[in-house]
Amino acid sequence: MPDTQTLIFLAILIVSLIAFIREWFPIEVTSLIILSSLLLTGLIDKDQVVSGFSNKAVITIGAMFVLSHAFTKTGFIRVFTVWIENIGQGTNWLVSTLFLLSVSIFSAFINNTATVALLIPAASELSNRLKMSASKIMIPLSFAAIVGGTCTVIGTSTNLIVNDIALAAGYQIGVFELSKLGLILVAITLAYILVAQKWILPSRVAISGLTHKYHLGTYLTEVKLTDESPLVGNKFMDMNLGVNYELTVLDIIRGKNHITTNLRNIILRSDDTLLIKISVEKLQQFRTEQKVLLLTDVKMNDNELANNENILVEAMVSPNSRLAGSTLMEIDFRRRYGLFVLAVRHYREVANKKIGHIKLKQFDTLLIFGSRTRMSALHTDPNFIMLDELDHALHKIKYWWLAVAIIPLVVGLAALNIMSIMEASLLGAIVVMATGIVPPQEAYKAINWSVIFLIAALIPLGAAMDTIGLADHIGGLINIASDSFGQMGLIAVLFFTTMLMTSFLSHSATAIIMTPLALKTAGLLGLNALPFIMTIMFAASLSFMTPNGYQTNTMVFTPGGYRYTDFLKAGIPLHIILGIVGVILIPIIWPM
């Protein structure tokens, strides 16, 4: 019978898992609530509660964010991918494969999110050149980045977390130790993508010139009826708006009143404001033919709309954005940027309020209109990822050569055991800041603090598990499982359980929970812990079957025009294939 402390811990763990999956709070807030709960219930003490913030893995991850930012500032990734694409010119499958191979190479050394953010526009352009739907290349872009991160210890934050826990248990893992299996998984994934592009991945986005720049997703926007609009005096059902423009009317705002029922039979009036869902392509047609004005809380005048120097672009709210959680009105977007947000697209839900009052979230997509000059400034804003930006030039910033060389130098120092990964990455971060490549304020913005707080707040979970002896409690279950399934069966159970958890829960949280259990499993059975550690490292990083399982999956969701089921169809077979390969090869490469 479990004791009181064990029951309390399990209750906290179960509620926290539900909170993560249901997204009751921002992920870092949920983590801090868990931390507070562990402290208040006596499962950890006051020293353990802050231990995560001084953890080597947390410091290393923060430093690597800065180094990744320095590297990506140079534009070297785009230059290299263009060069490697050119090698395969004339053969579409080879061009696509070489592009994705370059993605995997960079993801092995720099932040996956940064790699995908930079290459979404390149992938869009590539799909246009190859006359391929963007839906055929965006999921592969994410998958290639994820699997590339499994090739080195510094490839993902997950690897660094597991490595730190393993190091504390006395197991030293080299920077390239994971490459023994990681390179095989990359090759299998690229081969699978070739099959998936033809038989599994949909063609959700039309192949056209417009696709290159605008992904034709459904946006939420507001339009105001003018006196000249043919809609005035008519009903929706009489005008066939849904058929002609593929739009959905969610609300009619008439003065201070909101009309949300029986919309098809409402006679429209001049100055009515309509809240609609519509694609970019149809929005332009609707505005012209029905003589409506586009607006948010601030009306745009006709001179601005008619200006030939104005352009229309899509921008995604970046994972590091400080604007997430705020509304366009609170940001005062119009004055702050001198640009106009025509529409907002949410990743998973439909907003039902005026655009200016919608709270922005990470990976929301904004349709922005304004002058080329103002828009160019937005391209350098860390709050946004520009989905149409494409620059193949090497940016020769101050000491650009050092920014390109710094990560190979850090990797070399760690691989040769001259310094630890933490020491080398921290030294590298100090160098790029001291030389002005990444000024301190820019370095602060480059760090994804949500990830830092998540990991730092969850690391004490391991201490709480030790307090209640959770690993000891499951010892009997482990022995039964070993007797029933054998050692390889036990690896399979750990691999697929971890892989399933990371598809719905944060991969970092999964690693923090599962690594101590894997170490205890090896200890109870008297086996080498290294294959168990590697099982968690690989399984916690491989997340393909849901768009919310990994940040890069979420990032490509909108540009690829995907549905949730597209990830299930493309991701589940890859999960199974890589899972089987991992379960077979891990005990061979790292004997038990």
Lowest mean pLDDT among 36-50, 76-90, 252-266, 389-403: 389-403
Q: Say how far apart CA 355 and CA 219 lie, in whole Å.
A: 11
Nearest 10 degrees: Cα torsion 225, 229, 230, 234: 30
The reported pLDDT for the residue numbered 211 is: 33
Final residue before a domain boundary, out of 437, 452, 467: 452
Final residue before a domain boundary, out of 386, 419, 440: 386
- Per 3-state DSSP, the chain is made up of helix, strand and coil in percentages (nearest 5) of 60, 10, 30
Domain of residue 274, CATH code: 3.30.70.1450
Q: Say how far apart CA 463 and CA 459 lie, in whole Å.
A: 8
Is 136 inside any structural domain? yes
Percent of the chain with pLDDT over 70: 87
Is 496 inside any structural domain? no
Q: Are 184 and 148 in contact (CB under 8 A)?
A: no
Beta bridge partners of 276: 221, 249
Q: Return the structure tokens found at 455.
A: 């990991």
Residues 245 and 133 in one domain: no
Instruction: Compute the average pLDDT of residues 507-523.
Output: 84
Half-sphere exposure of 330 (CA within 13 A, CB side): 10
Nearest 10 degrees: Cα torsion 215, 220, 226, 232: 110
Q: Say how far apart CA 64 and CA 485 lie, in whole Å.
A: 40
Give the structural domain span for 98: 60-207+398-452
Domain count, the chain: 2
Residues 291 and 356 in one domain: yes
Where residue 297 falls among pLDDT bands split at 50, 70, 90?
very low
Q: Are 419 and 413 in contact (CB under 8 A)?
A: yes
Q: What is the pLDDT of residues 195-235, one digit of tens each?
A: 999 899 987 765 544 333 333 456 667 888 888 898 898 88
Backbone angles phi, psi at 247, to 5 degrees: -110, 160
Residues 278 and 329 in one domain: yes
Is 92 inside any structural domain? yes
Final residue before a domain boundary, out of 452, 470, 486: 452
Residues 74 and 182 in one domain: yes
Q: Are 233 and 268 in contact (CB under 8 A)?
A: yes
Is a pLDDT exceeding 50 seen at residue 28? Answer: yes
Residues 138 and 246 in one domain: no
Nearest one of 158, 157, 168 to 511, comparing CA atoms: 158
Where residue 134 falls among pLDDT bands split at 50, 70, 90?
confident
Instruction: Compute the average pLDDT of residues 6-33.
Output: 80
Residue 62 to residues 82, 160, 449, 525, Cα–Cα distance (Å): 29, 11, 8, 36
Where residue 519 falls among pLDDT bands split at 50, 70, 90?
confident
Is 527 inside any structural domain? no
Residues 199 and 214 in one domain: no
**pTM of the predicted structure, to 2 decimals:** 0.78
